[in-house]
């Protein structure tokens, strides 16, 4: 059987508003992405080498939640271009061997979507049941106690009909009723529309929320919640997230993907390792090809996962134990909804050192790695004046603008992004592609080397994961190609002091946070600097170590 492309891929997430502006309006667009494709992969090892791109939403939208409030699933927002531009982007990606994933938002639409406008027009409208409409309780209370992800009740009253509608996010994002077969068919047809145009797959937004409790039963109170914690954590999301009925819907979505060869579904899901793994389906019927495990970013909201070897080992151990046979984990260290990696791990000013180690770990694990744009050059969250903030989520919870600022291509005042005032301000000028591109010691060069090494090393692409014994504060694992001896080792030190880590077999240091160590032969151990990491390719592995 042909090996599925996503098993060996490194995927690069682009926030389209922030990648490259081509028309001087201060907003990134599809034409800008086309112009930067050679940076991502031109077929040579001077490029980053990614295999696929995921675009955050590009559909027409009022932009109340910057594209996650969709008003037309079968179009392109004018800020980003036209359908013709999208078709050219697809073609240009494919010409370079790059797959292109869009961001599908099946849980909710915009309140400006024609479906919702019809649904809201009267109690008798044929599309009334496409959304969740409920009357107040006899005592005048809300239909249930659910809270919005962005804070406040998940219900808003429509004065026109006197009923409340459900919105798990902003009030401008009403939830679709996936128990209505017409809704499910319409959303499946969205997938087919884009597959026919050549899109290679979708990242699926809040996959675990599309099927709720059939009676919309109240969520239980969270006994661990305390004043000062995030409001949405005041209840356990038992009846509106990971509800068991969702897995049947996931399998039906997978059937649509299977109508088109080599299309890939990547789900945004949350929960324990067991809950995440359930989205892959079972022996009788598959579910998603990939389900995100965000536990390197956050395990218990709203806290960030510490950079701690013991915690990270447990995360991978749990994921490997829970995932179905034949499936593959999917990890990331950043995305458009969370603080950037260095900002999360910079309490002692050493976030960049940890970022270098993270690149080696992410590319060494058994997984399909996702890299958030700018992560490879060490972009950090940007302090943004109140008058320039854009994200409406900040009004009830934390805002996400600081991690969505424009990509920094050079150190000029425009950062190579736009000739106009950018939609969000730039970060520190010294974090840019131009200055790091030819510097072999830069974070960009380390990412590039790690990605290309992964491409040509069989054990890193196909090998099993096995955690090896190591000292507290360190993490050692091996990747072994099927039917062969262990062929690659990754060692991580999350402590503030140097350590010596034993390795089972002799080999060559192929990657290291201290890059002067690369190319050195090792026998029984490897020395790691504080917060350092290294990858050793064992003798006999089918790889080319030279760059």
What is the H or E stretch that residue 12 is in?
Answer: strand 11-14
Question: For residues 172 and 64, is the Cβ–Cβ distance under 8 A?
Answer: yes
Contact partners, residue 77, CB within 8 Å, separation at least 6:
58, 59, 60, 61, 63, 67
Tell me which residue of 219, 449, 464, 205 sits closest to 328, measured CA to CA. 464
In terms of residues, how long is the chain?
Answer: 547
- The secondary structure of 348-399 as a DSSP string is TS-HHHHHHHHHHHHHHSSS--EEETTGGGT-------GGG---GGGGTS--
Catalytic residues: 205, 259
**What is the rounded CA–CA span in Å between residue 386 and residue 21?**
24
Report residue 221 as tokens.
Answer: 């109170």
Cα angle: 429, vertex 432, 435; to 5 degrees: 100
Question: For residues 171 and 179, is the Cβ–Cβ distance under 8 A?
Answer: no
Report residue 528 as tokens.
Answer: 């790691």
- The secondary structure of 421-455 as a DSSP string is --SS----TTS-HHHHHT-TTSHHHHHHHHHHHHH
């Amino acid at each position: 059987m042909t090996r599925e492309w996503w098993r060996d891929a490194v995927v690069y997430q682009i926030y389209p508003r922030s990648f490259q502006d081509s028309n001087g309006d201060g907003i990134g667009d599809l034409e800008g992405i086309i112009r930067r494709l050679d940076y991502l992969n031109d077929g040579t090892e001077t490029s980053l080498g990614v295999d696929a791109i995921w675009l955050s939403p590009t559909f027409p939208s009022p932009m109340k939640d910057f594209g996650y409030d969709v008003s037309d699933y079968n179009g392109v927002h004018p800020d980003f271009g036209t359908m013709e531009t999208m078709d050219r982007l697809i073609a240009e990606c494919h010409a370079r061997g790059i797959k292109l994933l869009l961001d599908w938002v099946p849980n909710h639409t915009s309140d400006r979507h024609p479906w919702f406008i019809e649904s809201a027009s009267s109690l008798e409208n044929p599309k009334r049941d496409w959304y969740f409409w409920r009357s107040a309780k006899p005592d005048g209370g809300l239909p249930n106690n659910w809270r919005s992800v962005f804070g406040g009740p998940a219900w808003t009253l429509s004065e026109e009909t006197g009923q409340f509608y459900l919105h798990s996010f902003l009030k401008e994002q009403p939830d679709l009723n996936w128990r209505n077969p017409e809704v499910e068919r319409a959303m499946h047809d969205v997938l087919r529309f884009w597959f026919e145009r050549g899109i290679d797959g979708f990242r699926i937004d809040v996959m675990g929320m599309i099927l709720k409790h059939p009676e919309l039963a109240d969520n239980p109170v969270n006994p661990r919640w305390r004043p000062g914690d995030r409001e949405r954590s005041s209840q356990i999301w038992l009846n509106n997230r990971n509800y068991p009925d969702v897995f049947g819907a996931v399998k039906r979505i997978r059937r649509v993907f299977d109508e088109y060869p080599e299309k890939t579904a990547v789900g945004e899901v949350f929960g324990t390792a067991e809950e995440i793994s359930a989205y892959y389906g079972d022996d009788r019927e598959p579910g998603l090809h990939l389900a995100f495990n965000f536990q390197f970013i956050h395990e218990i909201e709203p806290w960030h996962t510490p950079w701690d070897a013991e915690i990270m080992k447990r995360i991978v151990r749990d994921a490997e134990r829970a995932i179905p046979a034949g499936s593959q984990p999917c990890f990331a260290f950043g995305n458009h909804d969370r603080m950037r990696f260095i900002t999360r791990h910079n309490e002692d000013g050493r976030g960049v050192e940890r970022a270098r180690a993270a690149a080696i770990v992410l590319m060494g694990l058994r997984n399909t790695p996702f890299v958030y744009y700018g992560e490879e050059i060490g972009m950090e969250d940007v302090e943004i004046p109140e008058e320039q903030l854009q994200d409406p989520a900040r009004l009830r919870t934390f805002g996400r603008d600081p991690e969505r600022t424009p990509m920094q291509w050079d150190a000029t005042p425009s950062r190579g992004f736009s000739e106009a005032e950018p939609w969000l301000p730039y970060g520190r000028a010294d974090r840019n592609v131009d200055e790091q591109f030819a510097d072999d010691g830069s974070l960009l060069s380390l990412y590039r080397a790690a990605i290309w090494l992964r491409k040509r090393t069989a054990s890193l692409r196909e090998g099993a994961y096995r955690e090896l014994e190591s000292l507290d504060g360190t993490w050692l694992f091996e990747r072994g190609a099927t039917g062969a001896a262990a062929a690659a080792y990754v060692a991580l030190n999350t402590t503030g002091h140097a350590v010596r880590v034993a390795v089972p077999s002799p080999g060559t240091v192929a990657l290291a946070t201290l890059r002067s160590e690369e190319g050195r032969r090792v026998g029984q151990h490897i020395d790691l600097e504080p917060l350092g990491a290294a990858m050793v390719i064992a003798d006999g592995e089918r790889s080319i170590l030279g760059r």
